[in-house]
Structure 1
């Protein structure tokens, strides 16, 4: 029992010949199991070197490719009151169809004949413009007539001055002749008086010469008066030129001032006409805005302002509409650490909510139920959820996206990156490292060309 003896019984007696010994001392077969473990280990090592496609996952929803194809709300640019609805939720409307009719709530537009009255004011102002134009033409003609009359009057006055000067010269010559006649008459009178004293002439001759001398003196005085009158006439003629210029300049200035006033009034009236035309056009446009129309063909999603007689402010949302024709896309959100790995034009796999799919992240080729897409836009500013927005469009070379897809449905995205061994991917995951930073082949070839 204690195995104290040096004579081992098991060495002399074969216990396996006994029934109990056969059950206890049976040989165990380890070779198949060891072979299985070895093969499994070899397969595991081989699997670690199988290529694995690195991916960047994201979550988003279905949207449209173009902004004008997304759901929108219809607003009214003017405040108003709802009078009548012409559509119901879910109705299809064509572009330009009337959705609802509103009425005015501002008192300055309450007049139902506002447009007609404005048109009458506009016509009256246009006629005023024509009257001012006619007045300007009349004043221009008056100015031209005054200028012509002034020039003629000045010519007439200059001719009179010339005549007066010639008359002055003539009177001056006559005065000199009168002086000469006076000198001759005095000489004859003196000689006759001397001869009479000597007895050679009679007293009658002396008196005759004296009378002639007095007549000559009278003519000299008369001629002096004529000369002075001619000088006065010359001065008056020169004064007439200044008076004519001053008089007609005053008349012309007054006419030109009236014409300038008329032109100012005409310009002011033209400005008033322009304002009235703007008001008239605005009133017509405002009347057209009473009918809220569909900006594009689509379906009425939801009525945001219900009830008849309900008032609203300008720019307030009235109804939501979904365009009928749109190009579907996916809007996904990527973490900032993964953003440098994405580039425009790269391939992405998309899985839509509600469509069955079997996804193998590292082997996209054997995945089922995913659809091909490509990156068309990457937002440069982070969104409110702390991620960057990426817009995906369908890949024309891949299977078409489901036609039953609706805007707003959920979607999961898988961006395909580099191929790496599985052991590297496991090591990266365990250490929390991001996928490999890389540059796509297109970018490399473009940089080489540059």
Structure 2
């Protein structure tokens, strides 16, 4: 064997050993990749179309209840306000003037009503006095009747005795005539006195009717004035309500998130938004997702993270969160998802209401091989252009 042959055989042996090693290395790598692709799951995330930090309480708009000129304002973005605090006052001068007019009218009615009430009391007291007086006169008339009847009875007895004496010739005819005349006079007096109680009762009834008419007229005037006073009182209450409505008060305590630049003298329109109040509360994350990505895939309890715009996640990290609620209705082909921020984390950036970002929700853990097969199946099942 020549030196060339020995060299050629040595080269063949070295090449054969290197091929075996390369093949073994390739098979080991392929086996390792297949084991990773089938045994090690990876996380799948759904990324929101948009997201931002919000308070768990809704913002309250501050609107102008009327169109008018601003006479007082304390709107300043960022200021703290208390519930019921007056922030803007709209000119209420016409209502205030009318209210003062109605108050003057109400004040003027009070003494008139008092005068009529006093007059009513006087009329009722006079009626009672007249009735008592009429009763006393009736008793007095009955006494006079009894007195006249007694005198008449005496005169009648006297006339009978005189008549007997006249028959016996013991009394002159003139005395008999005088006795008869006295009897007739007393009888006439009794008749007159007996008519007096009826006349008194009739006169009193007439006075009572006249008095009742005056009393009813006074009462109707009092009722009319009382009704007018009640109407004025209702008008005053309504004007007070309208004046109060022109004071724009804070519907809830919190911080003024935004405000319209208002100055005294500016004119606002009815329903115009003057600002919004952000109540105190805990921060949460609100994100929106396409409906196919949300329904059936995003559920309460899933872990998520939010990357804030303006704070690079590589430097500041992400905000860890958990899904708390998924809306059941679609709006503009989007579904709202709410998440609460995990408490057990250290944040390197301040969190404030309104900060935007993107939310990634872990919806599934799947092996890479299964994911590859799923993607291939989706690609094959997708409709292709140009084919029926």
Of 283, 286, 310, the residue aligned with 1:331 is 286
Question: Matched residue of 1:388: which SS?
Answer: strand
Report the TM-score, using the length of structure 1 for normalisation.
0.62
Check if 1:399 corresponds to 2:351: no
Of 28, 36, 55 in structure 2, the residue corresponding to residue 65 of structure 1 is 55
Cα distance per residue 1:37-84 (max 9 Å; x no partner): 54344324422122444554433221321445x5x8754333246899
Offset, 1:339: 3.6
TM-score normalized by structure 2? 0.70
Cα drift, residue 131 of structure 1 = 0.4
Deviation of the 1:252 alpha carbon = 4.1
1:153 to 133, 146, 150: 133
- Equivalent runs, 1:171-182 vs 2, <5 Å: 173-174=153-154, 176-178=156-158, 180-181=160-161
Which of 357, 360, 370 lines up with 2:318 in the alignment?
A: 370
Report what 1:365 is aligned to.
none
User: Conserved in 1, the CA contact under 8 Å of 2:127 and 2:211?
Assistant: no
Partners of 2:126 and 2:260 in 1: CA distance: 77
Equivalent position SS for 1:397: coil
Deviation at 1:350, TM superposition (A): 1.7
SS in 2 for 1:329: strand
Q: Match of 2:385?
A: none
Contact 1:132 1:266 in 2 (8 A): no
Q: Displacement, 1:176?
A: 4.9
The match for 2:383 is: none
2:270 match: 314
CA shift digits 1:243-289 (9 cap, x unpaired): 21331343144134314412431442254245346536755875x67
Change (3 A) 1:119 1:325: closer
Contact 2:306/2:357 (<8 A) preserved: no
Q: How many Å apart are 1:323 and its aligned residue?
A: 6.0
Instruction: Indicate if the aligned counterparts of 2:289 and 2:335 stay in contact, CA closer than 8 A.
Output: yes
Matches within 5 A, 1:215-364: 215-216=175-176, 218-220=178-180, 222-273=182-233, 275-276=235-236, 278-279=238-239, 282-283=242-243, 286=246, 297=255, 311-317=267-273, 328-336=283-291, 338-339=294-295, 342-344=298-300, 346-357=302-313
**Root mean square deviation of aligned Cα:** 4.9
Partner secondary structure for residue 221 of structure 2: helix
1:382 corresponds to: 330
- Contact map agreement 2:131 2:204 (CA 8 A) in 1: no
Contact 1:128 1:269 in 2 (8 A): no
Does 2:56 match 1:77? no
When structure 1 is superposed on structure 2, of 75-84 and 144-153 the one drifting more is 75-84
Identify if the C-alpha distance between structure 1 residues 302 and 245 changes in structure 2 by more than 3 Å, giving closer, same or farther.
Answer: closer
Q: Is the 8 A contact 2:46 2:363 kept in 1?
A: yes
**Deviations along 1:403-449, whole A, 9 cap, x unmatched?**
276725232331455x55555555555556xxxxxxxxxxxxxxxxx
Retained in 1: the 8 A contact 2:39–2:367?
A: yes
Q: Secondary structure at the match of 2:321?
A: strand
Larger of the two Rg values belongs to structure: 1
Query: Which secondary structure does the structure 1 equivalent of 2:50 belong to?
Result: strand
What is the aligned residue count?
A: 367
